Amino acid sequence: MNHTDFELIQLGHPHLRRQAEPVTEILSTETQHLLDELLAFVIAKNGVGIAAPQVDINQRLFIMCSRPNSRYPLAPEMAPTFVINPEIIWRSDEVEKGWEGCLSLPGIRGLVPRHQAIKVQYTSRSNEHIEVEYTGFIARVFQHELDHLDGIVYIDRVESTHEIMMEKEWLKQFTNN
Ligand code: NI
């Protein structure tokens, strides 16, 4: 499927609440094509990450591709990272709150507590076993995207309705836009 044919599913769609299935054929043409199209899609949508369930594909994979853009002017720059069958194998005791948005919940932002550091393992798109530690914003993106594979969205983790804002207000108050 071409990325221009993906349907971005939004909060309320029951498929956003499913447990996704492990990926078994990582090197297959279908999976490799899906990864390429998902990257093109998330870049076109100014996301810093996207999980397959958000385009109604029930597989345990996501992409992290943080960089500054109109939705996240202050996001750090990183090479796109394809994450397949991920697990968190260690979490810091330290938890910090940070603002998150999501393509599946357009127009709002929420203040979400996440572990400041995590050690993770996953399979790369070339079928290599990866173990790596992430901190700060990238750790936050990883936890947000992994939640999508388990049917969880970030507002499930927001502690108070006073910590939800419209995106327009957030951009005014927290960036120079
Ligand atoms: Ni999301």
Ligand 1 center to residue 165 CA distance, Å?
16
Q: Is the pTM above the cut of 0.75?
A: yes
Ligand 1 center to residue 71 CA distance, Å?
13
Ligand 1 center to residue 148 CA distance, Å?
7
User: Using CA atoms, how far apart are residues 52 and 62, in angstroms rounded to an integer?
Assistant: 6
Ligand 1 center to residue 10 CA distance, Å?
10
Q: In the chain, which ranges are continuous DSSP H helix?
A: 29-44, 136-149, 167-174
Ligand 1 center to residue 152 CA distance, Å?
9
Hey, what's the torsion of the CAs at 114, 116, 117, 118, to 10 degrees?
-10
Q: What is the CATH number of the domain that holds 37?
A: 3.90.45.10
Given 100, 145, 167, 169, which residue is catalytic? Answer: 145
Contact 47, 67 (CB under 8 A): no
Chain-centroid distance of CA 77 in Å reads 15
Q: Say how many C-beta atoms besides its own lie within 10 A of residue 22's C-beta.
A: 11
User: Using CA atoms, how far apart are residues 142 and 33, in angstroms rounded to an integer?
Assistant: 22
- Give the range of the structural domain holding residue 133, as residue numbers without chain letter: 3-174
Residue 177 confidence class, pLDDT cut points 50, 70, 90: low
For 90-133, write each residue's pLDDT tens digit.
Answer: 999 999 999 999 999 999 999 999 999 999 999 999 999 999 99
77 is catalytic: no
Number of domains in the chain: 1
For 131-175, write each residue's pLDDT tens digit.
Answer: 999 999 999 999 999 999 999 999 999 999 999 999 999 988 887
